[in-house]
């Protein structure tokens, strides 16, 4: 989001500008693990699909 909002670049444009390979991570692995752990603790991405189906 930062690249687009602040610099008007896509991930592909950023990688091209700095000659980075396509598989180069744009987020530090430790930061990614920390954010994933926080999301799990907060219960993000988990919901009861049967309840959601009844609301259609």
The more confident residue out of 56 and 18 is: 18
Q: Which of 3, 6, 33, 1 shows the shortest CA–CA distance to 20?
A: 3
What is the DSSP code (8-state) at residue 13? H
Alpha helices in 1-56 (DSSP H): 2-7, 11-17, 29-42, 49-53
Which tens digits make up the pLDDT trace of 25-55?
999 999 999 999 999 999 887 777 676 666 6
Q: For residue 45, what pLDDT is reported? A: 79
Q: For residue 24, what pLDDT is reported? A: 93
């Amino acid at each position: 989001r930062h690249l687009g909002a602040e610099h008007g670049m896509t991930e592909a444009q950023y990688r091209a500008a700095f000659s980075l390979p396509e598989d180069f991570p744009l987020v530090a692995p430790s930061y990614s693990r920390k954010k994933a752990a926080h999301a799990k603790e907060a219960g993000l991405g988990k919901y009861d699909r049967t309840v959601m189906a009844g609301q259609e």
